[in-house]
Amino acid sequence: MSDVRHVLVLPDRDAAEEVAQALGERFAVREEPQLVRDALAGEDDAEDAQWLVVVEDPEARLDGTELDAFVADWDGWREES
């Protein structure tokens, strides 16, 4: 079985931090999600950065549809891999 990685895209750091914390509570993720700042191409302003929450799912036990609905509460979305 190959490793699965979910990338959740959030509009700002606060939302990303909240999602990372809530993931553990709602989905009982075993590994700490990784937060990554993703500056939009050609933009230097921090205001134009998106934040990514990267969730390793080695057992492929997280449901993509549930993650989509979950992250939508923070105006985010899940990138298809």
Question: Please, what are the domains in the chain?
Answer: 4-79 (3.30.70.3450)
The reported pTM is 0.85
Q: What's the confidence (pLDDT) of residue 69? A: 97
Q: How many CB atoms lie within 10 A of CB 5?
A: 13
Q: How far apart are the C-alpha atoms of 74 and 15, rounded to whole Å?
A: 6
**In this predicted model, what pLDDT tens digit does every residue of 30-41 receive, in sequence order?**
888 999 998 765
Tell me the per-residue pLDDT of 62-73, one tens digit each, with 9 for 90 and over.
Answer: 999 999 999 999
pLDDT tens per residue, range 41-81: 555 555 568 999 999 998 889 999 999 999 999 999 999 76
Helix (H) or strand (E) segment spanning residue 6: strand 4-10
Q: String of b and e for 15-42 (b: at least 16 CB within 10 Å)?
A: bbeebbebbeeebebeeebeeeeeeeee
pLDDT of residue 40: 64
Q: How many alpha carbons fall within 13 Å on the CB side of residue 79?
A: 14
